[in-house]
Amino acid sequence: MTDKKTHKPVYIISDSPKMNSDQFGFNAYSKTIAELIANKDNKTPLVIGIYGPWGSGKTTLMQTTRYRLDPRNEKNKRLEKNNEFKDKKIYRKCRTVWFQAWKYKNEDEILAALIEEIFKTMEQDNFFQLCKAKIQELTDRIKTSKITGDLSKLVAGVNISEFFSEMKYKEKLGFYDIFQEFFDDLLWTYLNWRPKGKESEKPDDTKAALIIFIDDLDRCPEPRILNVLETIKLFMDKKGCVFVIGADNDIIEKALKKTYDSDAVKFMDKIVQVTFNLPKFTNIDFELFLEKLVLANMDDVTPHLPLILPAMQDNPRRLKRFLNNLNLVAGLLRNRNIDDIEFRHVLFWNIIDYRYPRLRDDIRGNPDNLDELKKEIKRVQEALGDDTERWIIPSEIPEKAPSSLQQYINQKVLVDIILKFDIERDKLVQLITMSGVVESAKYNEDKKDTEDQFDFGIMAKIDAATFKYGDDKREKKIDQPYEIDIYSVTNAQYEEFIKAGGYRNDKYWSEEGFNWRNRGNVIQPKYWNDPKWSQADCPVVGVNFYEAEAYAKWAHKRLPTEIEWERAARGTDGREYPWGDEFDRELCNTRESGHGKTTRVTLYPKGRSPAGCYDMAGNVWEWTSSWSDKDKDSYALRGGSWSGGQGDCRCAARLDGVPLDRYIVVGFRCARAQL
């Protein structure tokens, strides 16, 4: 994969704003914004919005702008002489505050914390010591003894952090309420570094300004976004104040619409005077960025940028994290002397690993899923003929594919990667094993950037028909068409039932279930808090018959009868297993498969039944609504489980399930009359 004699050591790209300030044109952007702020002819108060999605470089741009305006904030540029805006005829002096509003819980704390950050900036300039007389004058004009004592501490030189740590946030607000009428005066003194000559002397923002950078506003919960903006409005009459807000504007407007509805845009227009939307980066920008890196195999990365960048959604931060993961995996394989895997295969797998976590997990659990996806993509290619470049697929084509793969077939970016990912199965297994050591970043920063929510509620339509039933394959007739879940009910689906108050709403429960639930004060499945059994895409277990029945009623469905279940599992020809007459441990989750627990319900598309249903052999036994004996003491369980062998997962196999018992090997799926 790499010449061991010439390879470069594992190298990680820093994501710090300072390290990235000269990338993607940020120097030009920051200089322009800094010039706008420092220009003495631009009146204050002023609010500038820097907008862009997560990872697009907002923080880098804001930090770089801050360094330009106020070099004291950079370790190697503490002296004022390094300020590129030192021409007093054109520019005003700038002092900066960096404020992360997402750290604070409510409006009061936000305001109090902002006051504290402003005071810390003043302290860095030794303002409270050099302007003792001014602070003392302020102290003398305040009548509240508590606040007077606090201000005296400032004059005495107490550290600002210590000063505010002793005050509760309400006391800080009390300080602000008394202090705000003097704020203009104090700010004037701080920025001009001298007291006013006369009380009538007006604030002068041509000499200096206080620049407050509010980073990651979109990280705040929606109600807090409004609180921050309302806090900024309190300063909108303060001469010499400039706010720079970094956020995803779509998220901000969505939060405001809940309060201001159609006036959300007008609200922002009243606050923000200047907007800067970070531009989309081009392939050339990224190529220039890659040329500056010293990563091993970088020459092998550049040719694949047309595949990489769309998968990273042209996002600089994602690209850096992806390259870091890629370099770690490549280094790991090299140092384990695994040199028979091509670098391009490492690269393609890392794109899948990083950007398509659902597909990654399905391939990790069952490497055959990659071949199955390739097969379906090639089928689509044949159907499209010469029109594959646009990849506009008629709806009926992907519907013929396994439901777990349909979403991938429609994604042209992923399709291009899969078609080039021609790795042999044994090498894929080796690559998956080694790359699993390096954990990929998860897309929890921005829900818009995750894969589309997978639909576990898909149902298969079963027509009325006669079929071969049971071990003796006697004929049974389905009189009415019906629908049945393609997947067992997952933990993710069951969680929605819990959140919707399913355990508290009596209308979903039979009399027996109601009595059982109340006796034990049951509020969730038995193994709900055990991460081994509660993975979102795995079938829910530890639910008894009455819990399954209540969920089905909540979902406007019902549990299938035993006859309906078997018809969906084996079709009409009396086959032994959903896929045919021969057992294959690669097509299901049983004891022979070796997982030792439940697996993702999408893991075995090759093991589907003729109706397209997954996991009707293995993974979990499933409740049906049919009694298993004449005494009506138990209900029939069908399908086998992860702990049982191949005999248990035959389509005709059945087991007795005591309705009150909550088994670790039992789940369920739902049915309903055909709509």
- What is the phi/psi pair of residue 390, to 5°? -75, -25
pTM of the model: 0.66
Residues contacting 501, CB < 8 A, separation 6+: none
What is the spatial distance between Cα 592 and Cα 588, in angstroms, rounded to a whole number?
9
What is the spatial distance between Cα 377 and Cα 407, in angstroms, rounded to a whole number?
11
**Token reading at 157:** 């030189």
Region of 522 (left: φ > 0; alpha: ψ -120 to 50; beta: rest) is: beta
Q: How far is CA 292 from each of CA 64, 149, 285, 301, 393, rounded to the nearest angstrom?
A: 19, 56, 11, 13, 40
What is the maximal distance between C-alpha atoms in the chain?
106
Given a cut of 60, whether residue 307 has pLDDT beyond it is yes
pLDDT tens digit sequence for 117-133: 787 777 777 776 666 66
Q: How far is CA 228 from each of CA 28, 76, 169, 235, 241, rounded to the nearest angstrom?
A: 29, 32, 16, 11, 16
Residue type (1 letter), 4: K
Given a cut of 70, whether residue 148 has pLDDT beyond it is no
Contact present, 566 and 652 (Cβ < 8 Å):
yes
Q: What is the 3-state secondary structure (H, E, C) of 580-630?
A: ECCCCHHHCECHHHCCCCCCCCCCCHHHCCCCCCCCCCECCEEEEEEECCC
pLDDT of residue 183: 62
pLDDT tens digit sequence for 624-637: 999 998 889 999 99
pLDDT of residue 460: 95
β strands within 61-197, DSSP E? 93-99
Residues contacting 636, CB < 8 A, separation 6+: 562, 624, 626, 627, 628, 654, 655, 656, 657
Residues contacting 330, CB < 8 A, separation 6+: 1, 2, 296, 297, 343, 346
Q: How many other CB atoms are found less than 10 A from the CB of residue 27?
A: 14
Contact present, 562 and 469 (Cβ < 8 Å):
no
Judged by average pLDDT, the poorest of 172-181, 284-293, 555-564, 581-590 is 172-181
Given a cut of 70, whether residue 193 has pLDDT beyond it is no
pLDDT tens digit sequence for 449-467: 445 567 889 999 999 999 9
pLDDT tens digit sequence for 340-383: 888 889 889 988 988 888 899 999 999 999 999 999 999 888 88
Confidence of residue 54 (pLDDT cuts 50, 70, 90): confident
pLDDT of residue 449: 43
pLDDT of residue 77: 43
Q: Residues 50, 54, 58, 63: what is their CA dihedral angle, to the nearest 10 degrees? A: 140
Region of 324 (left: φ > 0; alpha: ψ -120 to 50; beta: rest) is: alpha
Strands 93-99 and 46-51: unpaired
pLDDT of residue 10: 60
pLDDT of residue 284: 65
